[in-house]
Structure 1
Amino acid sequence: MNIQHSELILNSDGSIYHLNLKPEHIATDIIFVGDQYRVDKVTKYFDSIEFTTQKREFKTTTGVYKNKRLTVISTGIGPDNIDIVLNELDALVNIDLETRQIKKEHTALNITRIGTSGSLQADIPVDSFLLSSHAIDLNGMLHSYQIDTIANPEIEEAFIKHTQWSSKKAYPLVIENGKDLEKKLTSDLVYTGITATAGGFYGPQGRVLRLGLQDPDLNRKIDSFSHNHHRITNLEMETSAIYGLAKLLGHNAVSMNAIIANRANGTFSNDPGKTVKELIIYTLNKLVE
């Protein structure tokens, strides 16, 4: 059955609707960054550039770094944007855009996020690197999909009990990363842990300006959670959506975090740009090894 035009939307030139991309524009190895201006901070190290485009906050550049073809895409902020980006990237490689039919042969993408984050643990300092072994989805976007096959009920139930999680909120979902990518990107320089993904920057991450919080103690509960040597190490707004959709769609994903703040110690990096630059170089070199 053909996928209807209202479900798979294309631009007049045949490119996918939000990303403004055609299948030939992307590599199978993709780097996600949140900020559109960070795309150039990654691709300036490329040996050559073959394609670039931008629509809204979604900027894409494809080129070659040390003989490896790579694509860098800015996703913008939040799980809702990740829902757009991952579904449209998957459509580019696994749906025939002309016939609107799912291809018989599946193509798996390798997706590495390079982002910034704040540490929740006192022993993970600012200016360090952290690889997300798992992500815990606190925002609920993934519940729109059939998620039973990617859940980790034992960790989820322990987290709910420990935090006294409100039944009025979305059920927390824990998803593993792509282990093959983890092997490429890990080293003695990199911390690992569970990354919590919130649906917002202020209240959902425990920040108070003029609005009170549903649970003022939630951050303390998250910080102190531990289950079978798993602990929550950092908080951001994209990783669980990347991990969940990648797993469901048959892709590999890992999130690399430049730790620019430590909320346990109340510290912030003196030069966050330098830390991000070092993580970019580290990640590029690991991807081509």
Structure 2
Amino acid sequence: MKEALANANFPQDADGRVYHINVKQGEVANRILTVGDHVRARAIARWLDSDEEAGHPTFIHTSQRGFLTITGRYKGVPITILAIGMGSPMMDFFIRETRAVVSGTMAVIRFGSCGSWTERAKLGSVIVPRAGFCIRRNLDYFSDHPIYPELAKSTPYLVSGTFDADAEMTDQLAGNLKSVLGKLQEETDGAVGPVVTGGLNCDGCSFYSSQGRQDPAFWDDNKDLIEHVMKVHPETDCSEMETSMLFHLAKCSVQQKIKAAGCMQVFADRVGNGFIRPEVVTVLEPAVGKAVLDTLVSTKIEDEMDPVGTVWECVNKPSV
């Protein structure tokens, strides 16, 4: 921490910079592509307009807490690419702190990787869920002195209801992905694709226990977890740790609207116990990143921020 902060409830410095992401008003655009991986964020940023095309330099900032913010323009439209790391708490930091410094509607698409729970989504597929839910470890079940004994006895894992993605943005994203990946399927002899839509994503509170991975070194009681979850939510396609939390927080934004959608590459086949090959990722990630950017720039934003005074204000005449 370099600057004095005020307000323990929502820490910001004298310039209005939020605590963890370390950005202020005018540094994050209304349209945001979020990923976990810094390398993925920088790779996608290659699609952004050049400084000459945009009329301003691309803004790049890494916070002390490890959040990478890249703001520029794509096809002339202001866009932020933000790498947040992994897990629901990181999604919570990201959404709350960007919401605090962005006025007007926010459009957020999460682009990540996942484990597939269905045979229709093989390695190299891209899943676009219509909604998501969360799985949380029931800590009282494992406690020596549970606060809620009856809950402690009931189940080691708690499964939530569902949270819808933005339907219009989800449909647009799926269409853009199908257009791009249809060609790549032929070029890669089926190693990439298809696009899987209409199902559910589940967020675990961890990569291991709450996603049903077996670890003999720990007491997890999760041997039957996936089977149980599929009975509760039979339309589940995949699991990861962030996208359903995004949908949940978008629903809970009560003062200003957040439109949320997500897509994830199938890296892990939980049915056949396989993992994606690096050369497939090299082909897949740039194509998916571009499809997400195309979706964001076509998304309508109400009360979009005035560029004057922002990092995307044109300071030079854009090249034609």
With the length of structure 1 as denominator, give the TM-score of the two structures.
Answer: 0.79
Paired with 2:14 and 2:221, the residues of 1 have a C-alpha distance of: 46
Paired with 1:284 and 1:93, the residues of 2 have a C-alpha distance of: 19
Q: Between 116-125 and 210-219, report the one with greater CA deviation.
A: 210-219
1:177 to 165, 177, 183: 165
Paired with 1:287 and 1:251, the residues of 2 have a C-alpha distance of: 13
Deviation at 1:272, TM superposition (A): 2.5
Is the 2:87–2:206 contact (alpha carbons within 8 Å) kept by the matching residues of 1? yes
2:136 counterpart of 1:139: yes
Is the 2:133–2:159 contact (alpha carbons within 8 Å) kept by the matching residues of 1? no
Show the counterpart of 1:239. Answer: 243
Deviation at 1:236, TM superposition (A): 0.2
Structure holding more strand per residue: 1
SS in 2 for 1:24: coil
Show the counterpart of 2:34. Answer: 32
Deviation at 1:93, TM superposition (A): 2.5
2:164 is aligned with what amino acid? Answer: E
Is the 2:210–2:222 contact (alpha carbons within 8 Å) kept by the matching residues of 1? no
Paired with 1:178 and 1:109, the residues of 2 have a C-alpha distance of: 12
Deviation at 1:208, TM superposition (A): 2.1
Is the 1:140–1:172 contact (alpha carbons within 8 Å) kept by the matching residues of 2? no
Show the counterpart of 1:46. Answer: 48
* Residues 215-226 of structure 1: pairs in structure 2 closer than 5 A: 215-222=222-229, 224-225=230-231
Show the counterpart of 2:183. Answer: none
- Higher normalized contact order (CA 8 Å, seq sep 6+, divided by chain length): 2
1:206 is aligned with what amino acid? Answer: G
Provide the aligned C-alpha RMSD in A: 2.2
* Aligned residue pairs, count: 248
Show the counterpart of 2:204. Answer: 198
SS in 1 for 2:102: helix
Paired with 1:171 and 1:266, the residues of 2 have a C-alpha distance of: 24
2:121 counterpart of 1:112: no
Show the counterpart of 1:150. Answer: none
SS in 2 for 1:235: strand
SS in 1 for 2:19: coil
Is the 1:260–1:275 contact (alpha carbons within 8 Å) kept by the matching residues of 2? no
Deviation at 1:57, TM superposition (A): 2.0
Paired with 1:166 and 1:196, the residues of 2 have a C-alpha distance of: 21
1:201 is aligned with what amino acid? Answer: F
Show the counterpart of 2:81. Answer: 72
Deviation at 1:286, TM superposition (A): 3.2
**Alpha-carbon displacement from aligned partner over 1:198-224 (angstroms, at most 9, x marks no partner):** 0001111122231243231112333x4
Paired with 1:73 and 1:53, the residues of 2 have a C-alpha distance of: 10
**Alpha-carbon displacement from aligned partner over 1:144-177 (angstroms, at most 9, x marks no partner):** xxxxxxxxxxxxxxxxxxxxx9446445131000
Is the 1:58–1:74 contact (alpha carbons within 8 Å) kept by the matching residues of 2? yes
Paired with 1:180 and 1:25, the residues of 2 have a C-alpha distance of: 26
Paired with 1:190 and 1:21, the residues of 2 have a C-alpha distance of: 34
Paired with 2:251 and 2:290, the residues of 1 have a C-alpha distance of: 26
Deviation at 1:186, TM superposition (A): 1.7
1:283 is aligned with what amino acid? Answer: V
Structure (1 or 2) with the larger CA radius of gyration: 2
- CA separation of 1:226 and 1:138: change in aligned 2, threshold 3 A: closer
Identical-pair percentage: 25
SS in 1 for 2:228: helix
With the length of structure 2 as denominator, give the TM-score of the two structures.
Answer: 0.72
Paired with 1:262 and 1:72, the residues of 2 have a C-alpha distance of: 28
1:26 is aligned with what amino acid? Answer: V
Show the counterpart of 1:264. Answer: 271
Show the counterpart of 1:85. Answer: 94
